[in-house]
Structure formats: structure tokens, C-alpha cells
Chain A
């Protein structure tokens, strides 16, 4: 599969569960991003990894924990989430010195 892939595409979890979202890019990029998209709100940047180092954490609660083991893979580990965390979580990638980002299809998360 080409481009940016994300798994799972849909996830329902209870507030006490622990789950992980996975993102993989096949574009040879070296920067990766996690965004949250809630209804009627702009895309919110959560985390940025540039050359596998985290360079931005936009005041995201600690119940969200990113991991970037290499330039092609990005994870978002979730634990003790709240119902208001229900949203579409999008992964994107780009070259470090480019502003053009390519998005994965997203994981639609519902916290019950």
C-alpha cells in the first residue's frame, strides 16, 4: 500500500482501556505528525516528530503518548481517555523542510 496508512480505521474503547494507534508512511518522508479533528473545530496539531525526534507537544494531556521508532512509523498510545477525546485522529508526513503534508485516512475513535 502506498502513501500514509493508519490502523485501526475505527476504534471504540472504554475509559479504562489502553490502546494504540498506528501510522506508517511509504513516501520516504522524515517528519510525522499527529492531529486531532473534532466536529466543527480546526485540525489540532498534537505532536510533531522531525528526524525521529519529538519537536512539538502542543500541551496535549499525558493520557496521549506518542512513539516514533523510525522515520516510517508513528504510534499514539492511549490510556484512561475521556469521552471528549472522541474524534478523528489523523497522521501526516512530510519532508522536514517542506510544508506540504500528506495525510493518512485517520482513525475514528469513540470513547465510551
Chain B
């Protein structure tokens, strides 16, 4: 089983739609979770952290479900500029440093 698993997509959604991605992780000891965004041929950029209590930033909402070992990202009112690949990340302490494991990413294409 992959450490961090995501549906690669692509998710093709019309502008204004709501879209949700899930990501499962295998390490029950993972401590922190993040969503990164990566535009085509660019570096990943931190989008938001994911907390057990949920985290909302404008149109973006991230949730963590530790019991089922998955995290989710909800995007409301999709914009064309949201088109990108969204990378799920889990992290935890490993041998004294913060080990970060990336998923392969879910591709989102917002259509006019």
C-alpha cells in the first residue's frame, strides 16, 4: 500500500462548481497533514495545513479524519485559476527530523 494515496484525476469541473478530493495515508503515527498546490512545470506551494478540527481559508476547506486515515480538500465556487495539481502530504518525526511524504497529486481542471 502506498504511504499516501490520491486519485490522480483529472477532475474536470465547470467554473463555480464545488469539488472535493480525498487522500488516504497509511502511517497511523503521522502527526501533521498539508495540501500543496503545484501548477504545471512549477514547484509545489503550500496551500493549507489540515487540522483535526478542520481548517477553512476562503473557498478552501480541509478536513482530517484520523479514524479512517484520510484527509480531504473542498473547493467551493471553483475559479479557472484553481486549475492545478493538488498534493496531499503527511508528516511525522523520523529519526530527529520532520519526514514529509507526498502523494502523487490530484489534477484539477476548471472549465469555463
Contacts and interface: CB of A to CB of B under 8 A. Distances in A.
Interface of A: 31, 33, 40-43, 45, 48, 50, 55-56, 90, 94, 96-106, 108
Dominant SS among interface residues on chain B: strand
Given A31-B97, A45-B100, A100-B49, 8 more contacts: A43-B87, A48-B99, A50-B96, A50-B97, A99-B34, A99-B91, A100-B46, A101-B100
Interface of B: 2, 4, 8, 31-32, 34, 41-46, 49, 87, 91, 94-105
B98 A99 contact: yes
Contacts of A97: 98
Contact of A42 (B4, B94, B98): B4
B98 A31 contact: yes
A40 B98 contact: no
A9 to B, nearest CB: 11
A103 B96 contact: no
